[in-house]
Each structure stands twice: as C-alpha cells, then as structure tokens.
Amino acid sequence: MNDESDLLATIAQGVVHLDVAVVRTSVESAVREGISPFRIVAEGLSQGMRTVGALFRDGELFMPEVLVACDTYYAGLQLVQPLIEKDNGRIAKGKIVLGTIHGDIHTVGKDVAIPVFRAAGFDVVDLGTDVADEAFVEAVRQHQPDIVGLGTYMTSTFMHTNQTVEALERAGLRGQVKVICGGPAVDVRAALKLGADGATDNAWEGVQIMEAWMAEVRE
Amino acid sequence: MSVVDSWVQRLRGTLRPIGEMTHWQRLAAALDLHPTDLVPVAPELDYWQITHAGYSHQEIYNDVDKTTDACLRTWADLRCDAIWMYVDISHQIENFLPAERRAAHFVHRGPKDYLLFKPLVETLDEAIALYESRAFEKHLADSRAVTHYTPHMLQLLEFQEKMDRQVPVIVGAASPINYAETIVEVQRLVRWTITESEDKVRHYLELCLAERLEALDFYRDVAAANGCQFFCVFGGARTWGPRQLEKFGDVDRRFVDKVREIFPYVFWHHCGHNLPQALELLATWPGIKGVQYDQPYHSQKLSWSEFYEITARLFSGRRCAMNAPTTQVACYGTPGEITQMVRQFIEATVPHTSAVVMPGCEIDSYAPVENVRAMIDAARTMA
C-alpha cells in the first residue's frame, strides 16, 4: 500500500472504530496531501460506512455503534464537503429528498439512512423531522429529485404515507419520483398499498432498492 | 349511575363462558407456566380500543369516563383475556413540565392518531438537571398522571373487582431506561452510551431509577391495593447493543426487583428488533413471568417460525412467551395472514413453554377490527 492508500484506510478504520479525532486528522492530512475530495469520501469515509454496514449485518456492530459511526462519518465529511461542492466532476447516483413524516420527530432512522445514502453516492436533501406534506411537494419542485424518502418510526405516522403521496399526485409530481418508506414500523406490502414504491427498515437495503430504481431509469 | 356500575349491571351474570377457565385463571395459569384450557389472547389494545368504541383520541383526552367506557365496551365486544388500560405518552411525562409548556410538547395529529410528543430536553446535563430539580414532583398535581391516568386505572380496577375477577386489568409502567430515553429522545441516549462518560450516563440512569422506584410506591398503594395483580413493565434499551446492556442494563433489573415485591404477575414488554442478548437477560431476571417480545434483531436471518421456536426454547421452564402476530401484520395484514401467524406461534411455542397471543407492541388505531377478531379467533379455536 502507498501513503495515499494508508491514509484512506486510516480514515475508513476511524469510522469503524468511532474515532472522530482520527477521522478528522486523517481527512485533513489527506486534503493536504492533495488526495481528491471525492476519493477521500469514496475510499475513506464511505468505505468505512460500508464496513459498518457489513458488521451490522453480521451482528458484530449494533444500533448505538452505527449511530455514532454515522456521526463520525459526518465529522469527516464536513471537512471535505466544501471541496466536493466545487468538484464538478462528481456524478451522483441519484438525488433523494428525505424527511420524517408529519407528526414524527424521531431521527434515529434518518440519522443512519442519510449518511449511508450519501456514502453510497446519492445526493441527499434532508428536510428534517415532522415534515408537512406541502413541504415534500415544495422540495420536489425545488430540488427535482429522483426519489422521495419518507421516514417514520411509528405505525401511526406511517399510516399517513398515502397523504404525502396524494399531495405529490395533486401537484402533478408523482410521476417524476419514486417514493421509498423507511423506519422500523414500515411494512413493504402496506407501503405499496399506501402508494409508495418500496420500503425497508435497513438503510443498506434501501441503497440496493434505490440503485435498482436508478438503473431502470438509465435503461 | 357510574360508567363502571353501568357496565357491571349490563354484563354481570350475562357473559357466556369461554372455555373452562375464567379469563383471569387462564392468563394467570399461562404466566405461572401451568396448563391452560385455551391459549390466552390479550393483545395490547390500549389506544386501539378508543376508536373501536367510536371515540376520537381528542374526545377522550380529558374525559376519564369515556376512556373507561371505551375499554369496557371493547372488552364486552371481544372478550379478550385481559383489559389493557388506555395509556398515552402524556401520562408518562407531562408531570415533568409546567402547565404552560405542555401544549407545545403533545400533538394530536388526527382523530385516530396516537398522541405524538417532543423530547423535554436535549442534552445530558439538562436531563440530569431536570431530575435533580425533581421537576416530576413539582408539576405532578395537575398533570394527566393524576387527572386522567389514575382515575381511569381505578375505574377499571373497580370493574375488575365488581366482576369478581373474571378478567384481569393490566396496569403498566415504563422502566427507568425507557424513561431515560423518552425524556431526551431515544437517539440521544443511545449515542451518549458511547460518547459520554460512563459515570455521567450512569448518574442519569440512577436518577431515573430513583424516580421510578418512588413511583412504585404509588403503584403499590393505589394499583395493588385496589386489586391489580397483572403488571406490564414497558422496558427500555430496545435499540441497545450487548455492550450497553452489559454496562447499564442492571438499572432496569433493579426496578424489576421492586416490582416483583408488589405484583404477582409481572411481564416485560420488549418491542422493536429484539437483540438475542436482551431476550437472554429477560429470561434470567427474577420476577418476570412473561416476555412480550417482538421482531428478531436485524442480523438474525430467521423465519417467524424459527424465531418463535428459538425464543420458546430460551424461555422453556422459565418464562411465558407472548407474541403474534406482529403489530405490522395486525395492522396491514389480512385476517388469513394473522390466523396463520398466530397458529405458527402457538405450534412453535407450546411444546416448550406457555404462550399468550399478544403482539409485541400495541395494536395501532388503524388496524381493522377484522384483523383483531382474526387474532382472537385463531387463539380460541386452537386447543
């Protein structure tokens, strides 16, 4: 391994070991060494998140560690984000606007989903929590995403998925986006009945679903 | 005539027997790991029963009689093996807030929606200060714990006694870790178990435990003294990993140590994705007779039948297993799917331990009544 690879591996390991200090220092070093911000994200921070996903899947890491790994990822991302925004060469896999359904203020799912989606190469517009249907409509008009993500922690707020979907339909925007539901209360069949295109309670599975949708669009 | 006397007059002497045991005997026997005539069925209908009885959640919010009427009307209709109290999150945390701040913290989205809430504080220091100032005591007198929860509970217990304990009322309380999460929002506490000093997190949890142990005096003097014997502990730590359970899990166990001195039939509510280590702990904590468990943890690639069987073997000789169908299927599934899930649960469980048909969490207000009836019928038609 050369120095660049070592540095990127250190960043990835920092994310896995929940070590904010190591991640920050290594990202700063990588920037100084002239490594492209896109590589720092793709081969450092995002590689770390992929490893976290694999360890979570295998039962070696659990939700608390995953949440803090996401924060660690963000700590590094903050340092390179301004540089990435100047980098016109990056092509995102797709754009998603994502928020927690009106009435639901839990962020535990969204806090994991957003970094995992970003690490996988999606542009994510975070609308926050307790997002009104009209705010989703406005965000679709403004950001022109490929996908709308509806987060919900509770069954009673998940049951309002159809109202958000209907708001998109009334605005004439439903045809231009896929809708995915996420959170521990979601059920795939119910999500489809409620007008969404898919659902999952696992952010890494969400990436697979969205990648398949984007592949369909490109075909 | 009071709402309780009205229902007692209507039901006493008119109820057809179901099986050979009373509802009380059936649930008690299952929790004692004894044989039962039928598998008990006691879904957590706490807020579903409000809309089933024709009320909106707003309508009952400040009306104790309508709340109790909803529970008794639903029980008379469905004849489950227990009556669950109506509870909402304001009962749990309103007494931490001065009256003028309460409206901003609780939200009624719609007539069928459960009460939504916002966290009370956002930092660990604020949470500790909230407990050290004994805010929960200062604002108790006019809170819904006093004005709604307690009179509602007493009405149901009065019904239980006047009906000669044919059917038990289930009273429940949140565990210290559940409180610790609710006060600040779960995602914050979960992070702090890693990012904050262990001593500081433990100090917060010990404050939560102290408050909960004091609260148990109320449950002893008011609930148990009026006949309550079946007690559900709404556990916390549902998103914790094994490291967090090992470090801090003893806080909830110490709470159970006092609960079991007060109530003979204690069971633990553990909703969410159940970590295997958490179920193993619950199988060993003294005083818990049953575990209302939920879905397997993300990393466990198990079918439902496999999960039922693994859990039943784990609980064998030690705990009653309480599950099926999932709350999601209860709400979104078909009656046929629900029947199948309940049967799978019973078939996989009863060779190893006793079973109670009780989804891992509350039945959602949007669940169709056909689905709830399917769950009950499935249990009633299996020997």
Cα dihedral B12, B16, B18, B21 sign: positive
Residue pair A47/A8 in contact (Cβ under 8 Å)? The answer is yes
User: CB–CB of B92/B69 below 8 Å?
Assistant: no
In a domain, B156, yes or no: yes
Torsion of CA B196, B197, B198, B200, to 10 degrees: -90
Buried b or exposed e, range A125-160, using 16+ CB within 10 angstroms: bbbebbbebebbbebbeeeebbbbbbbbbbbbbbbb
Q: Where are the domains of chain A?
A: 3-87, 95-218
**A99 in helix, strand or coil?**
strand
Q: What is the pLDDT of residues B327-347, one digit of tens each?
A: 889 998 999 999 999 999 999
Q: What is the pLDDT of residue B167?
A: 98
Question: B-chain residues within 8 Å CB-CB of A54?
Answer: none
Is residue B304 situated within a structural domain? yes
Per CATH, which fold does A95-218 belong to? Rossmann fold (3.40.50)
Are A101 and A158 contacting, i.e. CB atoms less than 8 angstroms apart?
Answer: yes
Q: Is 80 exceeded by the pLDDT of residue A75?
A: yes
Query: Does A71 contact B191 at a Cβ distance shorter than 8 Å?
Result: yes
Tens digit of pLDDT for each residue in B147-160? 999 999 999 999 99
User: A108–B239: do the CB atoms touch at under 8 Å?
Assistant: yes
pLDDT at residue B310 in the model: 97
B13 assigned to some structural domain: no
Within 10 Å of residue B100's Cβ, how many Cβ atoms? 7
Please name the residues between 160 and 189 in chain A that touch chain B, using a CB distance below 8 Å. Answer: 160, 184-187, 189
- In sequence order, the β-bridge partners of residue B269 are B234, B292
Residue B137 lies in a domain: yes
- Three-class DSSP category at B231: strand
CB B259 within 8 A of CB B285: no
Does A193 reach chain B within 8 Å, measured CB to CB? yes
In a domain, B14, yes or no: no
**Number of folded domains that form chain B:** 1
Determine contact, residues B139/A126, Cβ cutoff 8 Å.
no
- Among B177, B328, B361, most A C-beta atoms within 10 A, so best to mutate, is B328
Contacts of residue A218, defined as CB under 8 A and 6 or more positions apart, other chains included, come to none
Distance of CA B180 to the CA centre of its chain: 17
DSSP-derived secondary structure letter, B94: G
For residue B359, give how far its alpha carbon lies from the nearest alpha carbon of chain A (Å). Answer: 14
Cβ atoms of B244 and A156 closer than 8 Å: no
> pLDDT-based confidence at B30, cuts 50/70/90?
very high
A61 touches chain B (CB under 8 A): yes
Domain harbouring B184, CATH code = 3.20.20.210
Residues 334-363 of B with CB under 8 A from A: none
Question: B240 to chain A: which residues are within 8 Å by CB?
Answer: 62-64
Nearest to A159 among B244, B273, B366 (CB): B366
The pair of structure tokens assigned to A195 is 């007008």
* Model confidence pLDDT, tens digit, residues A114-134: 988 988 889 999 999 889 999
Higher pLDDT, A96 or B106: A96
Nearby residues of A207 by Cβ (< 8 Å), 6 or more positions away: A116, A117, A120, A122
Which structural domain, as residue segments, surrounds residue B38?
A: 3-7+19-380
Best A60, A67, A114 member to test B by mutation, with max B CBs in 10 Å, is A67
- Candidates B200, B190, B284; CA nearest to B238 is B190
pLDDT digits (tens, 9 = 90+) for B167-208: 999 999 999 999 999 999 888 999 999 999 999 999 999 999
Whether residue B12 is contained in a domain is answered as no
Q: Judge whether B27 lies within some domain.
A: yes
Q: Which CATH number fits domain A3-87: 3.30.9.90, 1.10.730.10, 1.10.1240.10, 1.10.287.3510?
A: 1.10.1240.10
pLDDT digits (tens, 9 = 90+) for B243-299: 999 999 999 999 999 999 999 999 999 998 899 999 999 999 999 999 999 989 888
Residue B297 in contact with partner chain A when CB distance is under 8 A: yes
Nearest residue in A to B363, CA atom: A155
CB contact under 8 A, A64 and B190: yes
Complex confidence, ipTM: 0.90
The larger pLDDT score, comparing residue A157 to residue B123, is at: B123
* First-to-final CA distance of chain A: 37
Which amino acid makes up residue B249? G
